[in-house]
A and B are shown apart, each in its own frame.
Chain A
């Protein structure tokens, strides 16, 4: 079964840039689109990135997504960090018709 691995936690200071990785267990991460979701404490998830790098219109361009085939990884980069970015972040892709989620990364902005 295809799995996605994320770091358990990352931390960075306000105004800085942070990158969260999402590594595929087998095959090519490029074979299916990757999405990224943000979940603030006590709230439902929201979509930050879809189809590897596309942003919904309401998501600021501080958030960007990319794919690195050489490392079989997807990445979410957040620039100009704000305290409100403190949240859990999940990557998601597909195993056939089934969704697969990464385990989530807790971002601390301090």
Chain B
């Protein structure tokens, strides 16, 4: 059974940094592109970033480009999102998702607040 477990969310001041993690199990992690998607309070889904199976192809939404960095460690079956220069509008649930047939984690909440 595919399982994706996000962690690392919390309250952070504007301008601060946070690192999200996603632990994957139940599938061959290094076979798949992985994604981060977020959802602000009362809003729809917004794609944040994607990373290919080998980490060679990385893409970001314009809203986070230059501030967020996605990475993966295939030896640990883990996906990461390093978030810096956080803004209040980055407040959202952050979900990791597996490529192919898309499976979703339960999400971790990031709150930007002073």
Interface residues of A (CB under 8 A from B): 35, 37, 39, 44-47, 50, 56, 88, 90, 92, 97-104
Q: Among the listed B45, B57, B104, which residue makes an inter-chain contact with A97, where contact means beta carbons less than 8 Å apart?
A: B57
Number of A-B contacts (CB under 8 A): 47
- Chain A residues in 8 Å Cβ range of B107: 44
- The answer to whether B46 has its CB under 8 Å from any CB of chain A is yes
9 further contact pairs, Cβ within 8 A, besides A50-B102, A92-B45, A99-B50: A44-B95, A44-B105, A47-B103, A88-B44, A90-B44, A98-B50, A98-B61, A102-B44, A103-B44
> How near does chain A come to B44, taking the closest CB pair, in angstroms?
4
B37 within 8 A of A: yes
- CA distance in complex: A38, B46 (Å): 15
- Assess A97 versus B44: contact at CB under 8 Å? Given A44-B95, A44-B105, A50-B101: no
Task: Check A44 against B50 for contact (C-beta < 8 Å).
Answer: no
**Residue in A45, A47, A50 whose CB lies within 8 Å of B45:** A45
- Residues of the B chain whose Cβ atoms lie less than 8 Å from the Cβ of A35: 102
Q: State whether the Cβ of B106 lies closer than 8 Å to any Cβ in chain A.
A: yes
Give the residues in chain B near A103, CB-CB below 8 Å.
44
Instruction: Specify which of A56, A88, A99 is in contact with B35 (CB 8 Å cutoff).
Output: A99
The 28 listed contacts between A and B (C-beta, < 8 Å) are A35-B102, A37-B45, A37-B104, A39-B45, A44-B106, A44-B107, A45-B37, A45-B45, A45-B104, A46-B104, A47-B102, A47-B104, A50-B101, A56-B101, A88-B44, A90-B44, A90-B45, A92-B45, A97-B50, A97-B57, A98-B47, A98-B61, A99-B50, A101-B44, A101-B46, A102-B44, A104-B44, A104-B45
